């Protein structure tokens, strides 16, 4: 679903290239060439917001949290260089870690990024940075640089990336390259100079609103740690690391220029005691969903289950599992084998017919029809020379078809993992009524740390899987080595 909307988004953004000559930049006072008029900027922002609303749902789990984020955002916006704009601040229902701004003042945060923040000041820093992009009109400048030809080329590449197990990673890359052209401005930042300017402006708005501008550096450090951890996890999972918004990617938190631009905001600091309002922030985010929503299917330990689709499947234990919008991918600990689970849409004929259509094996005899756990299944095994061997199954469940496919990077790797791949295929089964009832998303809760409590100890009880200890530290801003102090309020996931 997100793939089509990303495509629509890119096409919508390509329409933003409407140059209206020179205009005055609200932040610098300089005249920028290639800036669209403010009316055009507003209109394009509204159109892009419609596209965003197709790609992301508003997070509805905690209505008070939406109000809270909006209030903080409006407070900062009133102290910005463009206080007259009609700002909108929305928490979207995504486990991704991201924040982005559209032209004209539509600003979005994922619930994924909120999970890793630890105070209202850090939330304000993220919002202030995004407001900075709006007030300095970075998106307008960036969109002017994109061309329709680039978008067309990326779209061509994307359409080629249809879902077949051998191409699992290419699809993601197709989306990424698409975003890399027009959406990069939106989802991954604007390049170093604009990011630094947004940090500078954000720090100024923080100070003017009664927060410590150093929260900007703190939040960059928190999210940088998240990113460093994800690079490690991505290596283990054999995937590309997530590309976050540029504040985290383009400069380290100890960067001299960053220290300088944030330091400039000190002159705006309000007299009196500065409170980062940590307790209030933790209160507002208590009960927020962490990770996958139930509607996206949930991973618990090595099992994936999808309540609406009504099935579960167990991946080999110790494999890294990633629940993506269009598929679930599990990678062996050494990265040499993977299993992909994905929907194939409606049933057409028998499972063997779909398997034939999809894999076109040399002879129909290579397709074996059978029943697993009461479900009709067709299994294809390919160990042809010169190709990466794979074993795949088309499984019919209720009125839909699913694909479970495992492959090794080499014949030796495939031989080593063949049993694990077979067991995964055979574990696909319908959920029981009791399992459907008990399916629930993970939530952020807070506890008061007792003496001697450690993240390793908490990880043992955690549903977060093999990286639980790192996740708990990241969630509490204590990555990579911190431990809870006695009496400290910390976030856990239940």
- Nearer Cβ to Zn ion (49/247): 247
**Could you tell me the smallest distance in angstroms from the CB atom of residue 85 to Zn ion?**
17
By rule CB under 5 A, what count of residues binds Zn ion?
Answer: 5
Greatest alpha-carbon pair distance for the chain in Å reads 80
Binding mask 30-69 for Zn ion (x = CB under 5 A): ----------------------------------------
**Could you tell me the smallest distance in angstroms from the CB atom of residue 119 to Zn ion?**
20
**Could you tell me the smallest distance in angstroms from the CB atom of residue 132 to Zn ion?**
8
Q: Which residues contact 382 (CB under 8 A, 6 or more apart)?
A: 359, 361, 366, 389, 390, 391, 392
Return the range that interacts with Zn ion (CB under 5 A); candidates 42-50, 74-82, 185-193, 434-442: 185-193
Binding mask 191-210 for Zn ion (x = CB under 5 A): ----x--x------------
**Could you tell me the smallest distance in angstroms from the CB atom of residue 57 to Zn ion?**
23
CB neighbour class for 416 (10 Å; exposed up to 12, middle 13-18, buried from 19):
middle
Q: Please tell me the distance from the alpha carbon of residue 234 to that of residue 42, in angstroms, as a whole number.
A: 38
**Could you tell me the smallest distance in angstroms from the CB atom of residue 275 to Zn ion?**
26
Return the range that interacts with Zn ion (CB under 5 A); candidates 104-112, 190-198, 254-262, 315-323: 190-198
Structure token pair of residue 376? 């009709």
**Could you tell me the smallest distance in angstroms from the CB atom of residue 452 to Zn ion?**
41
Q: What is the DSSP letter of 277?
A: -
Count the alpha carbons within 13 Å of 224 in the hemisphere toward its beta carbon: 15
- Nearer Cβ to Zn ion (184/356): 184
Structure token pair of residue 364? 């129909």
Pairing of strands 289-290, 298-300: unpaired
Neighbours of 293 (CB within 10 A): 18
- Nearer Cβ to Zn ion (108/311): 108
Q: Mark out the alpha helices in 26-62 (DSSP H runs).
A: 38-55
- Nearer Cβ to Zn ion (117/198): 198
Return the range that interacts with Zn ion (CB under 5 A); candidates 150-158, 183-191, 433-441, 453-461: 183-191
Q: Please tell me the distance from the alpha carbon of residue 455 to that of residue 393, in angstroms, as a whole number.
A: 40
Instruction: With CA atoms as reference, report the closest residue to 265 among 197, 208, 198.
Output: 208
Binding mask 209-248 for Zn ion (x = CB under 5 A): -------------------------------------xx-
Contact 20, 35 (CB under 8 A): yes
- Nearer Cβ to Zn ion (122/327): 122
**Could you tell me the smallest distance in angstroms from the CB atom of residue 317 to Zn ion?**
39
Contact 257, 192 (CB under 8 A): no
Binding site for Zn ion (CB under 5 A): 189, 195, 198, 246-247
């Amino acid at each position: 679903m997100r793939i089509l909307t990303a495509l629509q988004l890119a096409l919508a953004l390509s329409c933003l290239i409407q140059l209206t000559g020179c205009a005055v930049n609200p932040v610098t006072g300089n005249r920028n060439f290639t800036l669209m008029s403010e009316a055009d900027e507003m209109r394009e922002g509204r159109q892009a917001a419609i596209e965003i609303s197709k790609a992301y749902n508003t997070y509805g789990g905690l209505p008070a949290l939406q109000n809270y984020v909006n209030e903080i955002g409006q407070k900062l916006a009133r102290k910005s260089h463009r206080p007259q704009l009609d700002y909108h601040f929305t928490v979207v229902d995504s486990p991704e870690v991201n924040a982005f701004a559209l032209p004209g003042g539509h600003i979005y945060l994922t619930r994924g990024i909120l999970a890793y923040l630890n105070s209202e000041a850090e939330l304000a820093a993220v919002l202030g940075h995004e407001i900075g992009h709006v007030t300095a009109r970075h998106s307008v400048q960036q969109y002017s640089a994109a061309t329709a030809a680039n978008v067309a080329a990326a779209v061509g590449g994307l359409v080629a990336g249809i879902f077949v197990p051998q191409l699992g990673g290419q699809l993601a890359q197709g989306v990424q390259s698409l975003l890399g052209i027009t959406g990069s401005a939106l989802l991954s930042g604007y390049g170093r100079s604009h990011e630094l300017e947004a940090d500078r402006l954000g720090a100024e708005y923080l100070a003017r609103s009664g927060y410590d501008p150093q929260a900007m550096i703190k939040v960059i450090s928190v999210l940088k740690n998240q990113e460093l951890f994800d690079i490690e996890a991505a290596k283990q999972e054999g995937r590309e690391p997530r590309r976050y918004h540029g504040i985290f990617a383009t400069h380290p938190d100890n960067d001299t220029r960053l220290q300088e631009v944030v330091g400039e905001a000190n002159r705006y600091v309000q007299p009196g005691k500065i409170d980062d309002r940590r307790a209030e922030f933790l209160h507002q985010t208590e009960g927020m969903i962490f990770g996958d929503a139930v509607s996206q299917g949930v991973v618990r330990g090595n099992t994936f289950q999808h309540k609406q689709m009504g099935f579960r499947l167990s991946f080999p234990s110790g494999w890294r599992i990633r629940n993506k919008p269009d598929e679930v991918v599990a990678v062996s600990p050494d990265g040499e084998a993977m299993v992909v689970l994905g929907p194939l849409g409606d049933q057409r004929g028998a499972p063997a017919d779909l398997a034939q259509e999809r894999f076109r094996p040399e002879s129909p005899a290579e397709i074996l029809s059978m029943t697993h756990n009461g479900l009709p299944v067709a299994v294809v095994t390919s160990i042809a020379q010169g190709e990466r061997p794979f074993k795949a199954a088309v499984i019919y469940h209720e009125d839909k078809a699913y694909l479970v496919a495992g492959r090794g990077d080499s014949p030796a790797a495939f031989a080593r993992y063949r049993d694990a791949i077979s067991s995964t295929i055979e574990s696909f089964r319908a959920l029981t009524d009791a399992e459907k009832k008990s399916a629930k998303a993970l939530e952020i809760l807070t506890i008061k740390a007792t003496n001697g409590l450690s993240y390793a100890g908490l990880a043992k009880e955690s549903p977060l899987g093999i990286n639980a200890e790192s996740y708990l530290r990241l969630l509490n801003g204590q990555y990579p080595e911190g431990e809870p102090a006695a009496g400290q309020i910390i976030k856990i996931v239940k």
